[in-house]
A = this chain, B = another copy of it.
Amino acid sequence: MTVLDIPVSLRWADLDAYGHVNNAAMLTLLEEARIAAFWASDEAHPGGPVPAAHHTALLDSGPTANTLTLIARQEVEYLLPIEYTRQPLVVRLWLSHIGGASIDVCYEVLLRGTVHAIALSTIVLVDAASGRPRRVTSQEREAWDAHVGPPVEFRRRR
Interface size class of A (residues with CB under 8 A): 35 or more
What is the total number of copies of this protein in its complex? 4
Q: How many Å lie between the Cα of A96 and that of B72 in the bound state? A: 22
Most B CB within 10 A of own CB, among A64, A71, A96, A156: A71
Chain B proximity mask over A132-158: 1 for CB below 8 Å, otherwise 0: 000000000000000000010010111
Bound form: Cα–Cα A58–B141 in Å:
49
C-alpha gap A101/B157 in the complex (Å): 16
Residues of B within 8 A of A11 (CB): 28, 31-32
A106 vs B39: C-alpha distance when bound (angstroms) = 33
CB-nearest residue of chain B to A34? B12
Contact (Cβ within 8 A) B63 A15: yes
CB pair A84–B70 under 8 Å, yes or no, is: no
Q: Is the CB of B87 within 8 A of A50?
A: yes
Q: How many angstroms between the C-alpha atoms of A97 and B15 in the bound complex?
A: 28
**Is A72 a contact partner of B68 (Cβ separation < 8 A)?**
no
Cβ–Cβ contact B77 & A73, under 8 A: yes
Task: Tell me if A25 is interfacial: C-beta within 8 Å of chain B.
Answer: yes
**Contact of A86 with B17 in the complex, beta carbons under 8 Å:** no
In the complex, the 5 A-B pairs of residues with the closest C-beta atoms, listed nearest first? A24-B27, A17-B63, A15-B17, A47-B112, A23-B71
